[in-house]
Chain A
Amino acid sequence: MLTASSRRATRCLGQTLRGVTTAATIFPNEPSVPTVNTFPGPKSKQELASLARVYDTTTAYFLTDYYQSVGNYIADVDGNKFLDVYSQIASIPLGYSNPKLAELARSPQMVNAIVNRPALGVFPSTDYYEILSQGLLSAAPPGMDQIWTTLSGSDANECAFKAAFMHQAARKRGDASFTAEELSSVMLNQTPGAPVSTILSFSKGFHGRLFGSLSTTRSKEIHKLDIPAFDWPVAPFPQLRYPLEEFISENRAEEQRCILELTQIFETYPKDIAAVIVEPIQAEGGDNHASAWFFQQVRTLTKKYNVLMIVDEVQTGLGTGKFWAHEHWNLDMPPDMVTFSKKVQAAGFFYSGKIGRTKEGYRQFNTWCGDPSKALLAKGIIEQIKDYDLLARAAVTGRNLYDSLAEISVRFPQVSNLRGKNRATFLAFDLPSGKERDAFLVKCRHAGVNAGGSGARAVRLRPGLWFEGKHAEVMLAVFEGVLKDMYK
């Protein structure tokens, strides 16, 4: 059953897409609707049980058949096919079995990158400059022209923290070299060589799960329990009311409160704060938004207090209708570092000037310093996005989808706090409780849609960039059906 709004969404999209390559051209074998026979199916259950003998499978939803997954549809080993709006925790950018990426994966350049993995810091490959400059750097955020490559979101953030700590220490040290005391104390993990310096993050922020990044993660207890952490400061992140345009003055007051607290921390916190890390939209924490004004204030304050500003675009990157979500803020001064991973497939951070470069060598360093096979994939992803104008198209799809969801939330008041307007398909809404949210997600899976949750009670949408009006329509129909089942 189509809702009026989803029909409208399709019509609009049909117009913008006339004469343009669509998902149907790229993925001729993409299913047009989900198929669910038995779920969870017997094969999935049985094979997961045998995998569990050697590999922890307690977080597995089902056993996936990637060979049968096409475009926006993910298949399991029992032949079920789900419309996937979760996309490997927001990390598949251009659908499954993307033929152009497959072609790239078969190219001699990729084979070379896979079998001859270089230690990029010491023996860089002859094509690495071209891969970076024509790929990742062609999509660099405004004001940034340099890059450091890593392997995941967590280590991208941690390498940015390292850059921040080293940069701040160098700023204070000036032209002087390390003191004898620094050189000896650091080997004992003691000050001054291992300084008491900190990274400030925001409540409900998520920045990864290694020890430095986990110390800045403030999402849920289960992410952090039993792991020693650095005693680093946390500032409140605005808790806004949605739709944003209906609560402008309340929300501004809340943001002002948070900015005031942040100022207080900068003024009074007893330890050095080397950097602030912030997500443009707090994703794991529940899709919490803040206005451009808030982020502009953070930028102004960090400049004022000589604190670096790291924007964590691991989940928002490529997802909000622009390459980088912080481009929506119109900052006067760019952030100091922008980290990425997930949909980019490669990980690392962008920066400008000297921030990512220490005076002495072998400080930001490790064996591989990234992975050229992933940087090459990122280049292919960015090219495809540009070739088909996929960011602008996702913005249109997202706008229509937002309208349709808004309409649903009128009919189902249990669907509340719809958010992500003008952020393409980076949308989320709340259900009354975590339990109901979890039930909703399970029922959606049974009805053929694989969606994800975040925060305490949010449903988040993280489709790829070949997600179009027709897919939105399928998803909306399933959502309506499940909501009816739950609430009518």
Chain B
Amino acid sequence: MAAGDLLSNIELISPSQFAKEKIQAVQDYALLSARAVANLFRRPLYVADMIQQADLIGVGSLSIVLLTGFFTGAALALNSANTLQRFGSLTLIAQLVSVSMVRELGPVLTALMVAGRNASGMASEIGSMIVTEQIDAMRALGTDPVKKLVTPRVIATVFMLFFLTILADLLGLFGGAVLSTLSFGIDWHQYWSSGWQILVYQDVFTGLVKPVLFGFIISTVGCYYGMSAHGGTQGVGRATTQAVVASSLLVVVVDTVVTRLLMTVFGTR
């Protein structure tokens, strides 16, 4: 009897129900993203909100992005030097750091940092507006919350992530330079010229397309989880965590796909 009671209290979700819910979520996410983009072409455009968000994302994340870039570059140089020394080609260190930073580590690590900081911020801010009925109030006052809240965040994140990534790349190269010259006696000028010369159009293009995609992913996922928050403050906490997990995961998955895709487009070196 007790076991029966227990069983009837557990909500059993059938696999098909589960799949239906997931598909619905993906659909809702796609719809939200599409609306966020479509709103770019509709008046009013909330410029002040965009600038405020850009400030929050850009200036707020600047220090952690710079620090991450610097230490990643330095660690990269350190690890590469270890391997390169075995082959007697220590001079390749600048090339290695440069290509890895620009193509891969700069974009991905910057995106992960911004995802941790801002996808969570967006999910919790919009989520608490949902549970306190502020989003309903906004609609009641004749304003589209997607236009007012989501679109400015998407634009600001894409824009700022692009520049943060460039800064992270530069700081990574700089970190590598500092470490290489201090620990391995590499010539400072030679480091920079070889690090610069190795980069081809494809590397730079790959490295700059990624932050645009990642910025879009981070902001739309953050806003999506905020918008679908339910169940009071606990629900907001849950949405925040899910936003960070989902956006980080999507960033690394999309990174692999895009890298592969662009290699195909440009022809593998």
- Do the two shown chains form a genuine complex with each other? no
Question: Which residues in A have some Cβ–Cβ distance to B below 8 Å?
Answer: none
